[in-house]
């Protein structure tokens, strides 16, 4: 059988023998009703846990809309027209609306990137700016001791509306919702404090109510104040197939339930080999982002198996601290020890990779220099086919393979699973 996986802006094709193919984990099939901008407009007309937006905002109020940066597939251009129409219907003037790209601790955008991310209508009608983690106002401290430092422009707004796409997150449970505030427009110190809880029990994929990281995020958002969210779920083609609008928690939970119905995938057994792709750009822009596919794939591979991680990583490792941690370690276990004794934002993803290496080999199909890949404890390949052929030679000609074309969004659940990661 010939299969295709997203890889940067292109694709990688490979052939696999039917006897080896155990499963292809793709989204569950459901009957689409509305999609894209039409679905967003439906959600705005049917808000969850809040009145319609046009009844909430008032003329003269300064409105900030927080959305994702270029490392996320959030289709802001498909959300903003409907959102702007709602705000204008309430009498809000274009000059009182600012679209803020939540950089977290990622690099700043170019003007061209901001324009593309905003969409032509928002770009021409309202102000569009990047957040700045060095220009924050402290609004309080959470019960866990996390400083609530929020980008000044967002903190001083009369109304805060947060956009986001919902997918699985390896220690916050799910993306979306209050994550637009923490870490989206927070200081580095705030983000580091919050993310340091990733090593605690229940800080894991697909978990919400008793997840310490998610609870801290939502407490921070409550201290800041979020008036409204518009969250979306995307299909494998990055099309909006579900939108939820309204209360920052209730509307988010509705989106999470939809995500589970679509992307939580039961499997009978783990595979000897798991081929995991982020689905292409922008999710595989660097190893820091591509790691998200790895963290879901670990739930599908047997102990002692192989994960073939597929991602272009055209911008390198991604993040100076992440790179430093990866390159300074002499052994993967050094990273696990380091994150427990001296947590540092960015280093946490290096430790997450090391935790997977405790139980499985990782073959990386990327554009990275092979010598660099070997230096960070992974095995380099230029094509999925070469990686699969090598994996089959190691695991045996009858090895069972699970393919995850959209691994960052797909959560395997093995019913016989007794392994702990």
Domain boundaries, the chain: 2-26+268-414, 36-262
Q: Are strands 63-68 and 97-102 parallel, antiparallel or unpaired?
A: parallel
> Is domain 2-26+268-414 given the CATH code 3.10.180.10 in the classification?
no
- Measured distance CA(284)–CA(167) in Å, rounded: 15
pLDDT band at residue 419 under the 50/70/90 scheme: very low
Closest among 401, 393, 297, 274 to 19, alpha carbons compared? 401
Helix ranges (DSSP H) in 329-397: 332-341, 347-357, 370-375, 384-395
Q: Which residues pair with 23 in a beta bridge?
A: 402
Question: Between helices 111-118 and 76-89, what is the axis angle to 10°?
Answer: 70
pLDDT at 421 over 60: no
Q: Per residue in 139-170, pLDDT tens?
A: 999 999 999 999 999 999 999 999 999 999 98
Helix ranges (DSSP H) in 70-187: 76-89, 111-118, 120-125, 152-155
Residues 137, 156 contacting (CB under 8 angstroms): yes
Q: Per residue in 343-395, pLDDT tens?
A: 787 898 999 999 999 999 999 999 999 999 999 999 999 999 999 999 999 99
The CATH number that domain 36-262 falls under is: 3.40.50.11440
In the predicted model, what is the mean pLDDT of residues 254-282?
94
Q: Which residues contact 395 (CB under 8 A, 6 or more apart)?
A: 272, 273, 305, 306
In the predicted model, what is the mean pLDDT of residues 270-295?
93
pTM of the full predicted structure?
A: 0.81
């Amino acid at each position: 059988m010939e299969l295709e996986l997203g890889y940067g802006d292109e694709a990688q094709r490979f052939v696999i023998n039917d006897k080896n193919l155990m499963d292809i984990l793709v989204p569950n099939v459901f009957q689409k009703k509305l999609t894209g901008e039409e679905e967003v407009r439906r959600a705005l007309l049917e808000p969850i846990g809040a009145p319609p937006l046009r009844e909430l905002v008032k003329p003269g109020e300064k409105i900030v809309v927080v959305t994702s940066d270029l490392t996320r597939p959030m289709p802001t251009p498909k959300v903003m027209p409907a959102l702007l129409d709602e705000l204008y219907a309430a009498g809000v003037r274009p000059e009182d609306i600012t679209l803020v790209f939540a950089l977290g601790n990622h690099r700043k955008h170019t003007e061209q990137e901001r324009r593309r991310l905003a969409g032509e209508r928002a770009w021409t009608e309202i102000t569009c700016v990047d957040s700045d983690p060095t220009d924050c106002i402290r609004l309080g401290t959470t019960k866990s001791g996390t400083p609530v430092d929020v980008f000044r422009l967002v903190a001083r707004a009369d109304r805060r509306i947060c956009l986001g796409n919902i997918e699985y997150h390896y220690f916050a449970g799910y993306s979306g919702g209050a994550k637009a505030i923490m870490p989206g427009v927070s200081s580095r110190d705030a983000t580091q404090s919050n993310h340091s809880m990733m090593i605690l029990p229940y800080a894991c994929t697909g978990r919400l109510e008793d997840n310490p990281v998610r609870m801290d995020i939502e407490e921070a958002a409550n201290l800041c104040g979020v008036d409204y969210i518009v969250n979306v779920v995307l299909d494998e083609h990055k099309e909006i197939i579900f939108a939820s609008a309204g209360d920052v928690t209730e509307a988010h939970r509705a989106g999470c339930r939809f995500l589970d119905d679509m992307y939580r995938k039961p499997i009978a057994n783990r595979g000897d080999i798991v081929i995991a792709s982020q689905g292409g750009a922008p999710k595989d822009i660097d190893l820091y982002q591509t790691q998200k596919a790895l963290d879901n794939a670990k739930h599908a591979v047997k102990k002692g198996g192989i994960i073939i991680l597929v991602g272009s990583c055209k911008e390198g490792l991604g993040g100076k601290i992440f790179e430093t941690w990866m390159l300074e370690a002499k052994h993967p276990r050094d990273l696990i020890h380091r994150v427990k004794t001296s947590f540092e934002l960015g280093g946490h993803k290096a430790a997450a990779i090391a935790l997977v290496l405790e139980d499985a080999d990782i073959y990386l199909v990327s554009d990275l220099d092979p010598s660099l890949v070997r230096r960070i404890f992974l095995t380099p390949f230029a094509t999925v086919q070469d990686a699969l052929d090598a994996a089959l030679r190691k695991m045996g000609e009858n090895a069972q393979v699970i393919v995850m074309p959209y691994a960052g969004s797909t959560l395997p659940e093995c019913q016989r699973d007794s392994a702990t990661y």
